[in-house]
Amino acid sequence: MTNLISDHNRFLRGAQVVLGVAAATMMTVGAAFASSPGRMVAQPQAPNAQQQKQRPVMRPAAFIPVQLAAGIAEAPMGLTSNGHLPLGSVDDAEGASSFYAAMKVFDAVENVADGLGPVYNAQSCRECHQAPMSGGASQMTVLRAGGYVDGQFVAHAGGSLIQDRAIDPSLQEFVDAHSDDVTAQRLSLSILGDGFVEAVPDQTFFDIAAAQPESMRGEVVMVDVLEAPGVQRVGRFGWKSQHASLLSFAADAYLNEMGITSPLFPQENSSDGNSVAAFDSVADPEDEAQSASPFGIDVHIFADYSRSLAAPPRIISALSRSDVNTGQALFEQVGCAMCHTSELVTAPAGTLLNGGTFTVSHALGDKRIHPYSDYLLHDIGIGDGIHQTGSPEARNKMRTAPLWGLSMRNRYMHDGQSYTLEEAIRRHAGQAEQVRRRFEDLSRPERRQMLLFLRSL
Ligand code: HEC
Ligand code: HEC
């Protein structure tokens, strides 16, 4: 029987505490990996504990992900509000000050009269963020293209995102056979729990990167907070960590996925670089500012809704519980958690973020989350060649995919081209080569346990 576990603590605290102690006693700075023969993470009923004990543990040398400070609670998990917006009812749409009212705006289907297009990918946020609730992920992919001229990335005319749909056939965008040497598909991402991710202080990401061995070190990218001109924060959203703020992302998505302009993106996308003005019948910005919503009424509601989503629930059957625990220990041991960071802590309530435009609420502040990502960019050998953020090398890097919510998806990696978790792991090369080999060296039953752990996320 399967049950949704909403109390992560109950399941993990034992293992996490042991881990924290192990990490604290192990400060092997400078070595490729912090190896500690014989130190084992909590291993309830491990079938071959003897063998596992001899495997060196691989984890960051100095970064201790577990903070046992008092007052840091587990973030709520589930398919519901985290309390940032009260649940409310679907009908109290005024300013969408409740969760269900905001969900209705996130779900709203836009038409030409509302400003849809002229070029666009879909009619509502929900179309790509739905499984199993509004804000989740989906199998929808989007297409990007560009080329390299003298080693410099040049985006497809009018932007690397090729909109797949247009309100008039004459506006249809096409990949350019001559100049677009690089094309890439990107899978829709889940937004569940992202309010907590937004509330993680920048310093945490610098600390994680500093503690990673050089051969695996992630790239921290600084990106503009669009609603606070001149302010940058550590990017964490999108496959290239191209945004730090959920409001920035919402405004970007409203224009680039749906063709709806707002104060932060007042200009329509072109069609392959050509003006679409003749087809743009709604005055820009289509999502208008109001005094309480200076960046667009809908954009504010999308941001509020995103910030209100609880963390993805764990799915653990009573039968699999001990295998899942062992699988998690193996995940830590072979070094997956070097990049797929198991715990992050949000800033305290009241902290001003995004250049002072957003105050961390009580629902979001001082919470532990388990996204299994460092949100940094890594080259694991399958980067998509599109340059958006960071160093020139970042073209071939991708953000460490957060693994929470894996139970709700059946296609993996940025291109959605891996249909099993094992396949996704076997595609890890480059900075993850050594860790992947350690995964491959596990016995079959151990690999199965690790996959059960991943499936439980
Ligand atoms: C056509 C499909 C599509 C639509 C419509 C769409 N998105 Fe997305 N969304 C994506 C894809 C694909 C990504 C990953 C994009 C990337 O990184 O290149 C994404 C990523 C995101 C992220 C980042 C999540 C994370 O954890 O990194 C947020 C936030 C988001 N979308 C919000 C929205 C909002 C709000 C809307 C409605 C205004 C919207 N999206 C509409 C496909 C879509
Ligand atoms: C060097 C950093 C690094 C290490 C080590 C690493 N990963 Fe990853 N992982 C990534 C990156 C980056 C991605 C995203 C790649 C992409 O989509 O192109 C990823 C993606 C994944 C995905 C796909 C998730 C999704 O949303 O599609 C899974 C599953 C995964 N990793 C599991 C593992 C496991 C298990 C291990 C240990 C055996 C591991 N990873 C080790 C960086 C790492």
Exposed / middle / buried, residue 321 (Cβ in 10 Å: 0-12, 13-18, 19+): middle
Q: To the nearest whole percent, how much of the chain has pLDDT over 70?
A: 84
The Å distance, Cα 303 to ligand 1 centre, comes to 12
Residues 177-231 pLDDT 10s: 999 999 999 999 999 999 999 999 999 999 999 999 999 999 999 999 999 999 9
**Range 417-443 average pLDDT:** 98
Residues flanking ligand 2, CB < 6 Å: 216, 331, 334-336, 338-340, 378, 380, 382, 398, 400-401, 403, 412-414, 421, 424-425, 428, 431-432, 435-436, 439, 454
Mean pLDDT of the chain: 88
Question: Where is pLDDT greater, at 68 or 387?
Answer: 387
Mean pLDDT value across residues 295-316: 97
pLDDT in tens, 336-386: 999 999 999 999 999 999 999 999 999 999 999 999 999 999 999 999 999
CA of 253 to the centre of ligand 1 (A): 6
21 pLDDT higher than 50: no
Please report which ligand is nearest the Cα atom of 141.
1
Measured in whole angstroms, the distance separating CA 453 from the mean position of its chain's CA atoms is 19
Residue type, 81: S
What average pLDDT score do residues 78-94 get?
88
The response to whether residue 173 sits with its C-beta less than 6 Å from ligand 1 reads no
Among 120, 188, 295, 306, say which to mutate for ligand 1: greatest number of ligand atoms within 8 Å of CB. 188
Give pLDDT, residue 33.
34
Provide DSSP, 53-76.
HTSPP-B-SS-------TT-EEPP
Note the ligand closest to the C-alpha atom of 185: 1
Is the CB of 416 inside a 6 Å radius of any atom of ligand 1? no
Residue 2 has pLDDT above 50, yes or no: no
Task: Work out the number of other CB atoms within 10 angstroms of the CB of residue 362.
Answer: 12
Pocket test for ligand 1, best of 125, 376, 413 (most atoms within 8 A of CB): 125
Give me the mean pLDDT over the 414-437 stretch.
98
Is the pLDDT at 310 greater than 50, yes or no?
yes
pLDDT for res 344? 98
Close Cβ partners of 388 (under 8 Å, ≥ 6 residues apart): 160, 238, 240, 242, 394
Arithmetic mean of pLDDT, 424-448: 98
Question: 54 pLDDT exceeds 80?
Answer: no
Res. 92 pLDDT band, cuts 50 70 90: confident
Q: Residue whose CA is closest, atom 30 of ligand 2? A: 425
Model confidence at 111, in pLDDT bands (50, 70, 90)? very high
Ligand 2 atom at minimum distance from 406 CA? 26
Q: Specify the range with the lowest mean pLDDT, choosing from 62-76, 238-252, 283-297.
A: 62-76
Parallel, antiparallel or unpaired: strands 344-345 and 367-369: antiparallel
pLDDT band for position 58 (50/70/90)?
low
Q: Which residue has the higher pLDDT, 153 or 39?
A: 153
DSSP string, 305-350: HHHTBPBPPEEEETTTHHHHHHHHHHHHHHTGGGTS-S-EEPPPTT
Whole-number Cα distances in Å, 364 to 10, 126, 196, 200, 402: 20, 23, 6, 10, 18
* For residue 43, pLDDT beyond 90: no
Q: Give the nearest ligand 2 atom to 439 CA.
A: 38
Q: What percent of the chain has pLDDT over 90?
A: 82
Residues sharing a CB contact under 8 Å with residue 70, sequence separation 6 or more, in sequence order: none
Which of ligand 2's atoms lies nearest the C-alpha of 414? Answer: 17
The per-residue pLDDT for 173 is 98
Res 89: pLDDT: 83
What does the pLDDT read at residue 90? 82
Atom 38 of ligand 1, residue of closest alpha carbon = 254
* Terminal alpha carbon distance of the chain: 16
298: Cβ below 6 Å to ligand 1? no
239 Cβ closer than 6 Å to some ligand 1 atom: yes
Contact 34/59 with Cβ under 8 angstroms?
A: yes
